């Protein structure tokens, strides 16, 4: 997704399972290219470079139409889902801890 944009103006449901991005900014492009997204499921999504999310950038606003989000084994900025009505977060903390341990062992 390098040097491209995403424009999916009618997409209301996005399910991502076992997806790898080169950079978290690519995930930003995908999610914010879906302006009326209502249902988001992220499971086993990985980025080679955490980039802007770790630094606090990227997700500058919540997803305005998001109703339901399910996040499983993924390091997600909760600002993106701050206005969601139904939120399920599973094993995110354990995943972050494992990533941190791996990083410090390097």
The gap from C-alpha 77 to its chain's centroid, in whole angstroms, comes to 7
With 70 as the cut, is the pLDDT of residue 59 above it?
no
Q: Are 42 and 13 within 8 A, CB to CB?
A: no
Helix (H/G/I), strand (E/B), else coil: 33: coil
Percent of the chain with pLDDT over 90: 20
Give pLDDT, residue 83: 79
Binned at pLDDT 50, 70 and 90, residue 81 comes out as confident
Binned at pLDDT 50, 70 and 90, residue 4 comes out as confident
What global pTM score does this model have? 0.70
Looking at per-residue pLDDT, the higher value among 82 and 6 belongs to 6
Among 68, 76, 70, 69, which Cα is nearest to 93's?
Answer: 76
With 70 as the cut, is the pLDDT of residue 52 above it?
no
Q: Are 72 and 42 within 8 A, CB to CB?
A: yes
Q: Are 60 and 33 within 8 A, CB to CB?
A: no
Residues, the chain, total?
Answer: 106
């Amino acid at each position: 997704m390098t040097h491209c944009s995403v424009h999916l103006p009618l997409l209301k449901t996005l399910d991502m399972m076992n997806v790898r991005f080169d950079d978290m900014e690519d995930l930003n492009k995908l999610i914010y290219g879906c302006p009326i997204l209502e249902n988001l499921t992220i499971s086993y999504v990985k980025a080679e470079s955490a980039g802007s999310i770790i630094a606090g950038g990227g997700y500058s606003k919540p997803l305005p139409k998001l109703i339901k989000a399910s996040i499983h084994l993924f390091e997600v900025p909760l600002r993106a889902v701050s206005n969601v009505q139904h939120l399920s977060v599973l094993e995110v903390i354990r995943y972050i801890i494992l990533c941190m341990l791996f990083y410090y062992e390097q």
